[in-house]
């Protein structure tokens, strides 16, 4: 780790750019969606925004009080989220490097933080997922600075995470050697994947979302097929219901799968089970799924009510200020 940043060109006979600026090891780096900026985080506690050109110009700001472990742009490129060993996740404006707010409910180092690319019930870039050495994954609403979901599904440090392009799923990689797929709409664990023989250090969905890749300390890179659309949710959602609350612990395990390139759910059939038992089980699964959906709707309505109340309070404050201005003019 020489504290330098290298940008490589894939074109033939093109040289790499070597950028110097950080005073200690560079821990993370990412291009902005437009490709016009590169963000890097370092052990020197700073974040730098680079212009990827021959000059290698950069602006620097001290983002944290400890090593910066992760940087990630929002999908519109206007915001930047950073994660640090100081146990905080911070959100900044890219244009002026202005600090917006801090999320600090992790109790240990934070290894990875990323913006949601897109979620069906709100615009893109409004939520953040953060993974920490406290073995947890947290999903935040950056508009209200509010913790939405808290997952305690790993038994060791969570090293990496990645959102599905739809915004409905989140995959995580941990030192417990497993990958976990979380259903963000249901607020529960969907799959546990076993494949790596040691800590799983990184994971990422493909741009289309039909594949994802994982890497581990066992020197293996695995490519998995999602098949989300083909999943039989009636059978997947057979465990206890779990809402997407702030204080809720989401540990329901729907399906465990052995390592494989294709992510498929295996079913075990009992030859002695009669037709009536099958129908009863199907009905029970359907009812369980309906109850789970109602829980999600309840949580969504609750969040909308809070936002409506906040809007009403702001409107009331504006009206009061307007009345004061009018009275001052009259007097």
pTM over 0.85: no
- Is 105-319 assigned to CATH 2.40.128.630? yes
Contact (CB, 8 A) for 94 and 79: yes
What's the confidence (pLDDT) of residue 327? Answer: 83
Average pLDDT value for the chain? 77
Quote the CA–CA distance of 256 and 84 in Å, as a whole number.
32
230 pLDDT more than 80 = no
Identify which of 5-14, 82-91, 175-184, 273-282 has the greatest average pLDDT: 175-184
In this predicted structure, the answer to whether residue 37 has a pLDDT above a threshold of 90 is: yes
Instruction: Evaluate if residue 211 carries a pLDDT over 90.
Output: yes
Burial of 193 (0-12, 13-18, 19+ CB in 10 A): buried
So what's the pLDDT on residue 257? 41
pLDDT of residue 129: 86
Three-state SS at 43: coil
What three-state secondary structure class fits 310? helix
Long-range contacts of residues 206-210, Cβ cutoff 8 Å, at least 24 apart: 207/165, 208/165, 209/164, 209/165, 209/166
Look at 49-63, 187-201, 223-237, 265-279 and tell me which has the smallest mean pLDDT: 265-279
The pLDDT value recorded for residue 155 is 92
- For residue 224, the model assigns a pLDDT of 94
Answer with the residue of higher pLDDT: 303 or 170.
Answer: 170
Q: Can you tell me the mean pLDDT for 156-174?
A: 89
Question: pLDDT digit string (tens) for 120-136?
Answer: 233 357 788 888 778 88
Q: How many residues does the chain have?
A: 331
Better pLDDT: 55 or 225: 225
Q: Please list, in sequence order, all residues whose beta carbon lies within 8 angstroms of the beta carbon of residue 179, skipping any fewer than 6 positions away.
A: 171, 172, 173, 192, 193, 195, 196, 200, 203, 214, 224
Beta strand extents in 105-177 (DSSP E only): 110-115, 127-132, 137-141, 146-151, 158-163, 169-174
Answer whether residue 1 shows pLDDT above 70.
Answer: no
* % of the chain at pLDDT higher than 90: 24
> pLDDT class for 275, splitting at 50, 70, 90?
low
- The answer for residues whose C-beta is within 8 angstroms of residue 172's C-beta and 6 or more apart is 131, 137, 153, 154, 158, 160, 161, 179, 180, 182, 203
C-alpha dihedral, 103 to 40 to 175 to 180, nearest 10°: 70
Task: Indicate the pLDDT class of residue 216, thresholds 50, 70 and 90.
Answer: very high
* CA 256 to centroid of chain Cα atoms: 22
Per-residue model confidence as pLDDT tens digits over 27-36: 999 999 899 9
Can you say whether residue 95 is alpha, beta or left, with left for phi > 0 and alpha for psi between -120 and 50 degrees? Answer: alpha
Residue 26 has phi, psi (to 5 degrees) of -85, 125
Tokens of 261: 């390139």
Is the pLDDT score of 106 beyond 90? Answer: no
As a whole number, mean pLDDT of residues 198-211 equals: 90
């Amino acid at each position: 780790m020489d504290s330098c940043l290298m940008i490589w060109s894939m074109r033939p006979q093109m040289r790499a750019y070597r950028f110097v600026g950080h005073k200690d090891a560079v821990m993370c780096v990412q291009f902005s969606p437009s490709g016009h900026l590169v963000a890097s985080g370092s052990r020197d506690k700073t974040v730098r925004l680079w212009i990827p050109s021959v000059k290698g110009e950069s602006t620097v700001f001290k983002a944290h009080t400890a090593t910066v472990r992760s940087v990630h742009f929002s999908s519109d490129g206007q915001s930047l989220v950073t994660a640090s060993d100081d146990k905080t996740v911070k959100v900044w404006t890219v244009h002026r490097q202005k600090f917006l707010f801090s999320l600090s409910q992790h109790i240990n180092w934070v290894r990875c933080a990323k913006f949601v690319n897109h979620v069906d019930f709100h615009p893109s870039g409004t939520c953040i997922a953060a993974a920490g050495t406290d073995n947890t994954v947290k999903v935040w609403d950056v508009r209200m600075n509010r913790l939405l979901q808290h997952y305690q599904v790993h038994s060791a440090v969570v090293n990496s995470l990645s959102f599905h392009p739809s915004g409905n799923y989140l995959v995580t990689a941990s030192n417990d050697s497993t990958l976990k797929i979380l259903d963000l709409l249901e607020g529960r664990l969907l799959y546990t994947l076993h494949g790596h023989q040691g800590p799983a250090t990184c994971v990422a969905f493909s741009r289309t979302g039909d594949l994802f890749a994982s890497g581990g300390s066992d020197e293996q890179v695995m490519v998995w097929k999602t098949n989300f659309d083909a999943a039989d949710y009636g059978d997947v959602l057979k465990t206890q219901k779990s809402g997407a609350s702030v204080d809720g612990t989401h540990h329901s395990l729907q399906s465990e799968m052995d390592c494989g390139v294709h992510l498929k759910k295996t079913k075990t059939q009992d030859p002695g089970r009669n037709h009536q038992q099958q129908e009863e089980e199907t009905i029970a699964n359907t009812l369980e799924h309906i109850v789970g959906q109602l829980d999600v709707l309840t949580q969504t309505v609750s969040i909308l009510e809070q936002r409506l109340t906040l809007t009403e309070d702001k409107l009331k404050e504006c009206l009061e200020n307007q009345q004061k201005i009018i009275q001052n003019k009259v007097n």
